[in-house]
Chains A and B, each alone.
Chain A
Amino acid sequence: MNLPHIDFSVITPELIVIATALVVMLAEFVGAHATPSPTRSHRIALIALLGLVLAALAAVAGLGRAATDIQGMLVADDLGRYLELVVLLAAALGLLLAWDYLPQFTKMHSEYYALYLLAVVGMMFMGKSTELITLFVSLEILSVALYVLTGFHRGQLAAGEAALKYFLLGAFSSAFFIYGAALLYGDTGSTHLVDIAARASGGFLTLAGLALLLVGFGFKLAVVPFHMWTPDVYQGAPTPVTAFMSVGTKAAAFVALFRVLQAAGVSYATWSLVLALLATLTMTWGNLAALRQSSLKRMLAYSSIAHAGYMLIGVTAGMQLGLSAVLFYLFAYAFMNIGAFAVVSLLERPGYHATQDATIDAARGLFARKPLLAVVMAIFLLSLAGVPPLAGFFGKLYLFNAAVQSGWIWLAIVGMINSVVSAYYYLRVTVLMFMTEADETSFLRSPLSNATGLAIAVAMVGTLLLGIFAGPWLQQLGQAALAFAGS
């Protein structure tokens, strides 16, 4: 029997994370006292964090060396490496948030971190897949792990409800996704994106297959009109999970979307108009709905829908111009969004019902109570709104610039109007923090733990540095994008 030769260097970071997940799962049983305790939880979290850091080092080491293997099912190009870095960054920050958040409501630490790492693996594989079956399986790995993580707070009905909604709609969207994949296979006789690009007929089967795939992607990216689950799930899930999945899932799905569109076998003109309309709808709906939210988490959920809309502008702009802008935005979004969620996690009353906690009022008078924290939160919110010279501003600038250069001037204008609208709800929280007195509605979990503090500090430094070194970093990402667009 001939075993196929496999070049494992293509998937080194993934292998490291998988191994860590297994170690974490077994770590529960090591030691004389198998009783769960905070120290034990921290030990497990530390192992998981080490695994993530090692995987990130492996990903960095692989930069500049593109390779395809596992029967041409996975590619480790620079685009994939950068995607791994975004996902690992989001995962590490989310893990630091869970450090002290998790012991508040559960004793099942091993399970949490193992599932968490498996979701990370799914995302990393998804961004590197060059074949529809691999793409589908990695999408399911990340989805199934996230369904469970969403409902991890079993004592809360809201968490269960969020998990149920996420699960039903996620499975529903997966069905569309594989139907699309099946039709593309019917059109070309292959599930490899390379073959699909070469053989697609461009007829009914190609178009229908691509449209159904787009529906599947739309659900995962929370694109209007496939966004219904997003606010409920983001609100009901534990905050560290929300922070992680709002960035990680988007990053993986956007990169996979680029790969599929490049191989679509359909002309740019056909799909770019559809994406432009989806982007317009998504931005506008997300921002308008965020305006009238009273829960901080729900507001950030709608804001994340709007941000998916901004990034769709970059996809509309195409491979050459849009991809590097989207990649840049993903890095910026990872820092500023997880930073904002980190502060929100401190404003939540432990044990409270998920539908009541972390209202916007909880931020009242934060500046008087914790000046530094209020300033940091304001910086995250301003960056999300797109105020210079923060990371979010340059992210939007590059996206809109890509749109203008590729001829989508109206789309860039819609994006700018939307940024202005979004400033209203970000600033509303800022005003509450700085200009009102603390009263009985305001709350802050104290004392600020080292892990959460570290996560906030890293997010803060990232938001500032990406703003300062925006140009060189974009150039770096642009090379990866060019290599991909030319391939």
Chain B
Amino acid sequence: MIPTDYVLILAAVLFTIGAAGVLVRRNALIIFMCVEMMLNSVNLTLVALADLWGNLTGQVFAFVVMAVAAVEVAVGLAIIMAIVRHKDTSNIDEINLLKG
């Protein structure tokens, strides 16, 4: 069996890659995918920990996170679409009306 530590470290690495992606990438869609990656790395953490503790809370939590991620996809893509209709770009550097 895979030791829990390994899974947790993998999840932490995935989370870090996702967070770095959010900060580095410039396309709204890619940023959003990086956020999804962070959420899924948390799911991995939760499932591994649920296995470690032998209770179901972590697995239930992972399902809740998935549901919330789906909700965010629906809303997020709608918002990105609304912007693309105005400006024909999803590059966040070009969406810069509000500043100061």
Which residues of chain B have C-beta atoms less than 8 A from A175's C-beta? 15, 18-19, 35, 38-39, 42
Residues 267-298 (chain A) with a chain B CB within 8 angstroms? 292-295, 298
Instruction: Identify whether the interface residues of A are mostly helix, strand, loop, or mixed.
Output: helix
Q: Are A157 and B18 neighbours in the complex by a CB distance under 8 Å? A: no
A190 at interface, CB cutoff 8 A = yes
The residue in A140, A293, A295 that gathers the most chain B C-beta atoms within 10 A of its C-beta is: A140
Q: Are B31 and A168 neighbours in the complex by a CB distance under 8 Å? A: yes
CA separation between A154 and B80, bound complex, in Å? 12
Could you show 9 A-B contacts with beta carbons less than 8 Å apart?
Answer: A163-B79, A164-B28, A164-B80, A164-B83, A175-B19, A175-B38, A182-B45, A185-B49, A355-B98
B75 at interface, CB cutoff 8 A = yes
Name which of A14-22, A23-31, A231-239, A365-373 contacts chain B: A231-239
Q: Are A154 and B82 neighbours in the complex by a CB distance under 8 Å? A: yes
Which residues of chain B have C-beta atoms less than 8 A from A179's C-beta? 15, 38, 41-42, 45
CA separation between A112 and B11, bound complex, in Å? 38
Instruction: Identify whether the interface residues of B are mostly helix, strand, loop, or mixed.
Output: helix
Of B42, B60, B71, B87, which one neighbours A182 at CB under 8 angstroms? B42
Q: Are B79 and A157 neighbours in the complex by a CB distance under 8 Å? A: no
Q: Are A167 and B79 neighbours in the complex by a CB distance under 8 Å? A: yes
A178 at interface, CB cutoff 8 A = yes
A202 at interface, CB cutoff 8 A = no
Q: Are B60 and A157 neighbours in the complex by a CB distance under 8 Å? A: no
Which residues of chain B have C-beta atoms less than 8 A from A292's C-beta? 100
A434 at interface, CB cutoff 8 A = no
Of B8, B38, B46, B83, which one neighbours A185 at CB under 8 angstroms? B46
Q: Are A133 and B64 neighbours in the complex by a CB distance under 8 Å? A: yes
Residues 18-65 (chain B) with a chain A CB within 8 angstroms? 18-19, 22, 28, 31-32, 35, 38-39, 41-42, 45-46, 49, 52-53, 55, 57-58, 60-61, 64-65
Of A154, A157, A174, A293, which one neighbours B97 at CB under 8 angstroms? A157
A137-B68, A164-B92, A298-B100 known; A171-B52 Cβ under 8 A = no
A471 at interface, CB cutoff 8 A = no
CA separation between A164 and B64, bound complex, in Å? 23
Q: In the complex, which range does the number of interface residues on chain B fall in?
A: 35 or more
Of B35, B42, B45, B71, which one neighbours A168 at CB under 8 angstroms? B35
Q: Are A182 and B46 neighbours in the complex by a CB distance under 8 Å? A: yes
CA separation between A157 and B97, bound complex, in Å? 8
Q: Are A186 and B49 neighbours in the complex by a CB distance under 8 Å? A: yes
Q: Are B58 and A185 neighbours in the complex by a CB distance under 8 Å? A: yes
Residues 186-205 (chain A) with a chain B CB within 8 angstroms? 186, 189-191
Q: Are B39 and A148 neighbours in the complex by a CB distance under 8 Å? A: no
Which residues of chain A have C-beta atoms less than 8 A from B32's C-beta? 168, 171
A147 at interface, CB cutoff 8 A = yes
A171-B32, A185-B58 known; A136-B68 Cβ under 8 A = yes
Which residues of chain A have C-beta atoms less than 8 A from B41's C-beta? 179
Q: Are B72 and A171 neighbours in the complex by a CB distance under 8 Å? A: yes
Q: Are B98 and A158 neighbours in the complex by a CB distance under 8 Å? A: yes
